[in-house]
Structure 1
C-alpha cells in the first residue's frame, strides 16, 4: 500500500525535475563546447527521471503534478558564468527533493532517491568545481 508521504515525496521530486528540465534549457542556451554537452546530458537525465517519476505516480493511481508553463529564475542568466550558477542551483533543488524521498519507508523508493541524489551531487560538483558534504541538505552545507 502506498502512503501519502510516498506520493508527496514523489510529487515533490517530480516538480523539481520539471523545474530542472526547464532550467537546463536556459543553461544550455548560454554555453558552448563541453559545458553545453554537459548541460544537454543533464537535461536528458532530468527528463528521463521526470518520466520515471510520472510512471511511478501513475502506478500509484496518483495524478502527477504538471509542469508550470514557465519558471521564475533565481537571477538573470545572461552569460556562461550565470548559466553555470543556475545549473548548480537546479541540482541543489532536485537534490533537496530526493533527500526527502530517501526518508520514505518504501525501500525501492529510498534506493531511487539515493541514486538520484548521488547523480545530482556528481553533476553539482562538476558545475561547482567542488563537492559539498551533504547535498540536498542546505542546513548542513
Structure 2
C-alpha cells in the first residue's frame, strides 16, 4: 500500500479525513463510554476499509480475464460486501451512524491489465489485515472474534493473490536490532 485504506483515499471533498480514519460520525450515541467510542471508531475504520475494498475489487474484476482469477475476485467482492454490511449493522446497533462510502477512491497505482489487477487485490487484502489487526485490539470480547475472523480471511486472500506472508499479518515487521559486538 502507498498509504490509503484498502486501495484508496476518498476523492470526495478536500476536507476528507485522513485515509486511515473512518468517514462519517464515529459517535457512539449519547453514551460517553470511552471504550464504546473507541470500538465504534475502530469499527468505522473497518467499514471504511471495506467500502474501499468493494470499490477496488470492482476495478480488479474489470481487468481480469474470464477465468479462475475473475471467479476468485467475484468471491472476494461478495465477501467484502457481506463484511461491509455486517459492520454497518453492528455500528447501527451500537447507536452510531455507519459511515457512507466515498463517491470514488484513488487507487495506489495504475491498474491497466491482469497483472496490475492481481497486484491491487494483494494490496487490498494486505491493507485490510492491518485494519483488522487494529480492530482486534480495539473492540471488546464479543466483537473480537468477528474481527479476528476478518483478519484471518484477509491474510488468506492476500496470500492467494501473491502477497508476502508476514509472521503476524496486519502487524508491521519489527526493524532489525543492531547486534552488539564484543571486542
Instruction: Give the structure-1-normalised TM-score.
Output: 0.94
SS of the residue corresponding to residue 137 of structure 2 reads coil
Whose radius of gyration is greater, 1 or 2? 2
Q: For 1:69 and 1:102, locate their aligned partners in 2 and report how far apart those are by CA, in whole Å.
A: 28
Cα deviation for residue 130 of structure 1 reads 5.2
Higher helix share: 1
Match of 1:19 among 39, 52, 66: 52
Partner of 2:133: 99
Partner of 1:48: 82
| TM-aligned CA distance change 1:23 to 1:101, over 3 Å | same
Match of 1:120 among 140, 147, 154: 154
Q: For 1:24 and 1:41, locate their aligned partners in 2 and report how far apart those are by CA, in whole Å.
A: 10
SS of the residue corresponding to residue 103 of structure 1 reads helix
| TM-aligned CA distance change 1:46 to 1:105, over 3 Å | closer
Which deviates further from its counterpart, 116-125 or 97-106?
97-106
Which deviates further from its counterpart, 57-66 or 128-137?
128-137
How many correspondences in the alignment?
A: 141
Match of 2:165 among 101, 125, 131: 131
Contact 2:166 2:173 in 1 (8 A): no
Q: For 2:88 and 2:102, locate their aligned partners in 1 and report how far apart those are by CA, in whole Å.
A: 15
Contact 2:52 2:105 in 1 (8 A): yes
Q: Which runs of 5+ in 2 are unaligned?
A: 1-32, 176-183
| TM-aligned CA distance change 1:75 to 1:105, over 3 Å | closer
Q: Which runs of 5+ in 1 are unaligned?
A: none
Alignment pair present for 1:85 and 2:119: yes
Instruction: Give the structure-2-normalised TM-score.
Output: 0.73
